[in-house]
Amino acid sequence: MRPSLLKIALTIAGSDPTGGAGFQADLKTFKAMGVYGLSIPAVLTAQNTRGVSSIHEVSPEFFSDELDMLLKDVTPDAVKTGMLYTSEIVEGLSRRIKERSLKNIVVDPVTVSSTGVSLAKAGTLNAIKRNLFPLARVITPNIHEAYLLSGIEVSNENDMKDVARKLRALGPEEVIITGGHLKDKAMDMLFDGEEFLFLENERLEGEFHGTGCAFSSAIAAGIALGYDVKESAVKAKEFVFNAMKNAIPLGKGMKILNI
């Protein structure tokens, strides 16, 4: 029997050799937040701080075996999903979430890299909307992903509200739109179905790798620790901001968050 104070979060995401994004960054975030991290790679990438050169799929059969073996032994307090890449992976995951009655699902609907490389095959985004959004405690699309999901371009706060309403109608309990760059602020917005909460901080100059991964995994860690989505989002925003302020110029491209 595990200690009652031990909280566990599971990340199901892509692999990033730099450790700046993907499940490697999620695991670092979990540890920094005081949560024990589990990980299942859903897809492999060849990438560095400059970009992604190729993607290698994990077979649906092996992915299902990964999940089944882990979940028959350990039940996480929260689950974060990132790059899933194929609709088959999404559908297999959603079935097991239902079968195992997993709670506190944080869905980061990853679709494209910072350098413009597609991180989801055709049909995957629709599979995420159809299968995972109704199971989600919260979803955390960035501005571009929110546009792909809703068809609404965001240029102001009212646009963010319209997108959040439309996405919440797809089933998640709460929606957080990230990456709003309005004026000199970096702005995220949370919608719980009734109220809108804007999270702002100073906009930092430069290019940073893995901010979305760290933000969503920090939210999952907060929920695993017993905080609600709002509290978790506030903590995650501060966590990522501090990691960006102390980011590391590891290679020749984007800076890696200092987690």
Q: Does position 197 have pLDDT exceeding 90, yes or no?
A: yes
Six-digit token string for 107: 């869905």
| Structural domain includes residue 112 | yes
Q: What is the C-alpha end-to-end distance of the chain, expressed in Å?
A: 30
Q: What is the pLDDT of residue 179?
A: 82
* 223: containing domain: 8-256
Longest dimension (CA), the chain: 51
Checking if the pLDDT of 15 tops 80, the result is: yes
Look at 5-9, 10-14, 101-105, 184-188 and tell me which has the smallest mean pLDDT. 184-188
Q: Is residue 2 part of a domain?
A: no
Q: How confident is the model at residue 180 (pLDDT cuts 50, 70, 90)?
A: low
Please report, rounded to a whole number, the percentage of residues in the chain having pLDDT higher than 70: 98
> Considering only CA atoms, which of 23, 24, 21 is closest in space to residue 11?
23
* Full-model pTM: 0.96
Percentage of residues of the chain with pLDDT beyond 90: 87
Tell me the helix, strand and coil percentages in the chain, rounded to 5.
40, 25, 35
pLDDT at 172: 98
Predicted pLDDT at 184: 64
241 pLDDT more than 80 = yes
**195 in a domain, yes or no?**
yes
Q: Tell me the per-residue pLDDT of 98-115, one tens digit each, with 9 for 90 and over.
A: 999 999 999 999 998 877
- Does any domain span residue 79? yes
Report, as an integer, the average pLDDT of 179-204.
85
User: Is 3 within the bounds of a domain?
Assistant: no
Structural domain count of the chain: 1
DSSP symbols for 76-132: -SEEEE---BSHHHHHHHHHHHHHTT---EEE----B-TTS-B-B-TTHHHHIIIII
pLDDT bin (cut points 50, 70, 90) of residue 205 is confident
Question: Which has the higher per-residue pLDDT, 154 or 166?
Answer: 166
Is 98 contained in some domain? yes
Residue with tokens 């995994």: 217
Cα-to-chain-centroid distance, residue 179: 13
User: Where is average pLDDT lowest: 27-31, 151-155, 162-166, 219-223?
Assistant: 151-155
Q: Report whether pLDDT(77) > 60.
A: yes
Q: Is residue 238, in this structure, part of any structural domain at all?
A: yes
Burial class, 60, CB count within 10 angstroms (exposed 0-12 / middle 13-18 / buried 19+): middle
Q: Looking at the predicted structure, is the pLDDT value of residue 182 above 60?
A: no
How far is C-alpha 164 from the chain's CA centre? Answer: 16
CATH of the domain at 214: 3.40.1190.20
Comparing CA positions, the residue from 214, 176, 217 lying closest to residue 196 is: 176
Q: In the predicted model, is pLDDT for residue 183 greater than 70?
A: no
Question: CA torsion 258→22→3→103, rounded to 10°?
Answer: 130
Residue 46 domain-assigned?
A: yes
- Kindly state the tokens that stand for 187: 């702005």
